[in-house]
Structure 1
Amino acid sequence: MTEAPLPDDESLTTQGYTAQENAGQILLIACGALAREILDLKTRNGWDHMALTCLPAILHVHPERITQAVEDAVAKHRDNYDRIYVVYADCGTGGLLQQACARLGVEMVKGPHCYSFFEGNEAFAAHSEDETTAFYLTDFLARQFDAFVWKPLGLDRHPELRDMYFGNYTKLVYQAQTDDPELTRRAKDCAEKMGLSFERRMTRYGDLETTLADWATRD
């Protein structure tokens, strides 16, 4: 299957991504914030039997909408694929997405959010209590910080509210999926903008990669 050209980050945020609508063995229904990582893994590993469609990443600003959007996507594509997997963690749905996936008979990525599975759920859980004042960024969020954080909070119009929103945080942890100096610079700028100290943590793809590898090789 030939993938559709990957749109820019703004399109992934507001519109999502859909590969060519060819029936196949496996469909991944994912968050638009994960499109680049999933396509990279598919290409590097030759997982041509896995198709990809992504919902708009901006759904994370309204997590109460994620579950229904995933259910609708499963219903839309179910007849065209042998298996469907959901590439979302809980993502603020309070367990509702997991309940929906169980009801629909589809498997989803384990973990509370992408920060956890990028680092590895076990590793993240081991130090999560020590990082209750950490604010996390991924590669995608380093590129789309204004769209997901600054503008939704109104800080582009009222920057004086910064400390009200971020006063309980002490540091920004940039979980780097790629070794990109430009993204590191952007993440540092985000930390400075928020008034937080900065830590870069090279996570690569973590449990996202191992989960997709498991799904790709199942009989």
Structure 2
Amino acid sequence: MACGALAQPAAAIAERRGWPVEVHPLPPLLHNQPQLIADEVRALAERLLATGRRVAVGYADCGTYGALDEVCRDLAVERLPGLHCYDVLAGPERLARFFEEQPGTYVLTDFLVRSFARTVLRELGLDRYPELRDDYFGTYTRVVWLAQEPDDELRGLAEQAAAAIGLPLTVVDTGHAGLESALAGLLTPPAG
């Protein structure tokens, strides 16, 4: 099972690597209400475990403040490492440097770049109340796009997203190596 924001690249990696994996996505908009993630993961994991499947959780903590870890312990399943998918994509040390350099860093992934108008602007009401932009983003100083598969179209969308919230854009090419490595660790069968 995976966060909807990671499901497509996870499925593509699994197919390329020949892993016998079915990816079951949960809605990416759960990130707008992270207090719901653990219960949604529990419900899907229990359904999958009841069918005899081995389950791995394609989420980092994602703002659950340990609630997802509790679910994983209860069900004896593993999850992706890190506090959020940004750690998985860029590496926790690299991400920490971004925040140390500029604490007001707002981070985008390819998924967020593609869905920014829906998942950020519409969900925050900025499409209807643009005057709220500074209330939400007034303390941010830049946007960092962790570009997994950058192309001209995504670059244009990233620039539009940054402009929509009035911030300069920094592009950091991450590729999928971090996600692939984390998935490989997650999918390695337990010893014994």
Q: Deviations over 1:133-189 (max 9, x none)?
A: 011111111111022111121111111121121111111111111022101110011
Give the unaligned 5+ runs of structure 1: 1-28
User: Which of 115, 130, 137 matches 2:101?
Assistant: 130
Q: Provide the C-alpha distance between the structure 2 equivalents of 1:88 and 1:215, rounded to a whole number of angstroms.
A: 11
Pairing 1:149–2:120 present: yes
Superposed structure 1 runs of 4+ greater than 4 Å apart: none
- Letter aligned with residue 44 of structure 1: R
Q: How does 1:12-31 map to 2 (within 5 A)?
A: 29-31=1-3
Pairing 1:97–2:68 present: yes
Pairing 1:202–2:173 present: yes
The structure with the greater share of residues assigned to strand is 1
User: Which of 150, 160, 169 matches 1:189?
Assistant: 160
Q: Provide the C-alpha distance between the structure 1 equivalents of 2:125 and 2:14, rounded to a whole number of angstroms.
A: 37
Q: CA deviation at 1:117?
A: 1.1
Q: Provide the C-alpha distance between the structure 2 equivalents of 1:199 and 1:127, rounded to a whole number of angstroms.
A: 10
RMSD: 1.5
Pairing 1:43–2:20 present: no
Q: Residues 119 and 205 of structure 1 are in contact (CA less than 8 Å); yes or no, is this contact kept in structure 2?
A: no
Q: Provide the C-alpha distance between the structure 1 equivalents of 2:170 and 2:137, rounded to a whole number of angstroms.
A: 16
- Letter aligned with residue 149 of structure 2: T
Q: CA deviation at 1:129?
A: 2.4
Pairing 1:87–2:58 present: yes
Q: Provide the C-alpha distance between the structure 1 equivalents of 2:116 and 2:185, rounded to a whole number of angstroms.
A: 31
Q: Deviations over 1:25-64 (max 9, x none)?
A: xxxx1011112211210121111x1111011111111111
Q: Residues 121 and 207 of structure 1 are in contact (CA less than 8 Å); yes or no, is this contact kept in structure 2?
A: no
Give the unaligned 5+ runs of structure 2: none
* Identical pairs, percent: 41
User: Which of 129, 138, 151 matches 1:180?
Assistant: 151
Q: Residues 79 and 186 of structure 2 are in contact (CA less than 8 Å); yes or no, is this contact kept in structure 1?
A: no
**What SS does the corresponding residue of 2:12 show, helix, strand or coil?**
helix
Tell me the TM-score normalized by structure 2: 0.93
- Letter aligned with residue 167 of structure 1: G
Q: Provide the C-alpha distance between the structure 2 equivalents of 1:216 and 1:99, rounded to a whole number of angstroms.
A: 20
- Letter aligned with residue 3 of structure 2: C
**What SS does the corresponding residue of 1:135 show, helix, strand or coil?**
strand
Distance 1:102-1:217 versus aligned 2 partners, 3 A rule: closer
Distance 1:108-1:215 versus aligned 2 partners, 3 A rule: closer
Q: Provide the C-alpha distance between the structure 2 equivalents of 1:179 and 1:154, rounded to a whole number of angstroms.
A: 28
Tell me the TM-score normalized by structure 1: 0.82
**Is the deviation greater in 127-136 or in 99-108?**
127-136
Q: Residues 117 and 206 of structure 1 are in contact (CA less than 8 Å); yes or no, is this contact kept in structure 2?
A: no
Q: Provide the C-alpha distance between the structure 1 equivalents of 2:164 and 2:97, rounded to a whole number of angstroms.
A: 29
Residue 168 of structure 1 corresponds to which residue in structure 2? 139
Q: Deviations over 1:61-93 (max 9, x none)?
A: 111110000000111010334421100011111
